[in-house]
Structure 1
Amino acid sequence: MMNIDVLTLFPEMFHGVFGQSILKKAAEQQAARYNIVNFREFADNKHQTVDDYPYGGGAGMVLKPQPIFDAVKSCQEHAKTTKPPRVVLLCPQGERYNQKKAEELSKEEHIIFVCGHYEGYDERIRQHVVTDEISIGDFVLTGGELGAMVIIDSVVRLLPNVLGKEESHLQDSFSTGLLEHPHYTRPADFRGLKVPDVLTSGNHRLIDEWREKESLKRTFERRPDLLEAFDLTEKQKKWLLEFENQKK
């Protein structure tokens, strides 16, 4: 079972997310355990303040180290896992999130997500508590909660048996290094818009080849940057040349 702790000042935001769809199924199957922690409860002052003005002046408030340090320690003690947790700080300065990172995190026993608000974090949190700083994109959100939800969903769906069939996620966009091929379902002819003949042919070798070629084509058209690091086969190189000639 994967233990997932979320440190947040707004725990109510997660109740609906964890109680629906794949995340709910994962909890019911005991593939994942969710624990939402309001780290304000760990503040060591009577007013339970978790932020303060930055040294040196400046706009905004900064999250204090003490509540985060103590909340993370408490989560570690309660999880009782065999190895230290990954502590993920949601931060616009972090590495950009991708499918490879999701696959890496899905192998962990325990992940703690730290969702901040205000201007930022005391630097000692980054230096002495956090193992990963992650950004879900080059934009700024009000807090880290939405980013944590995105990452948790992308990780939990990769856990064994959560999706029912392991191959369900193996052909997802980015899992193979390419974007996913187009999909079709019944009817085969919808108002004159027909499904490609190959998909109704019953010839699985040709279907697999069509899907591979369409996946490459979609990546070429929409995310050519992904091809820079992709190890193309000779057949795929020929297809790519064909796409380039069609584009001229």
Structure 2
Amino acid sequence: MNITVLVKQVPDTYSERTLRDDHRLDRDAADAVIDEIDSRGVEIALQLVEAAGSGEVTVLTMGPERATETLRKALAMGADRAVHVLDDGLAGADALTTSAVLAAAAGRSPFDLLIAGNEATDGRTGSIPSMLAERLDLPAVTQVQKLSVSGGELRAERADETGYSEVTAPLPAVVSVTEKITDPRYPNFKGLMAAKKKPIDTVTLADLGVAPVAANVVVDATPRPPRAAGEKVPDDGTGGQKIAEFLAAARLI
């Protein structure tokens, strides 16, 4: 079984985030880490290949030169090879361009599964997995919290509005996973050393035959206003009544 996993380098949650003059996120100003949901995607891919008894896990990213650090982290976890789409023309790429580039890169090698996180922590559009499936003309199963593969099809437990549903789909397919899918392993010393020798294939837009065309442009960005301080209700025997009055005034009861 061959699985390709999308991984992304994102600003550390605890780093201060700033915007550039063109209203795009200044990624160089913040500490960068592998998106936590993508670590879970790598982990479930490794588990599926281990269960199958053969195959490879390839990790794929699109980003600046330092995104190589994210690929090395995934390789240290146990992934076999990596692909880095590196091109200055992709700076600030929107979802449409990103999906076109990733689809072209993923399609260069055959795979049984393409796994992605349900959404990236820096953008939270949650649109890339479905867009990839559309571009690659493959089934898409999103919001997956349990996943297994047998007999040429996948079986997934998918989170939905009522709880979850069980679905099946033929392979190859595109899957997006949630944080419930599994916990990622920590790379050990042996894995860290091995990652330095594993191949990273760097490709450009010219290699992929893709010309980026932005479908949208950010014209302005405004910081979120600070939240107003909440009202404290001391419990002097009338706390319950005051809370009820507050909720009634807000038309919540």
Same fold (TM over 0.5): no
Task: Write 1 or 2 for the structure with the bigger share of helix.
Answer: 1
Task: Write 1 or 2 for the structure with the bigger share of strand.
Answer: 2
Greater relative contact order (CA < 8 Å, ≥ 6 in sequence): 2
Q: Between Structure 1 and Structure 2, whose CA radius of gyration is higher?
A: 1
When normalised by structure 2's length, the TM-score is: 0.30
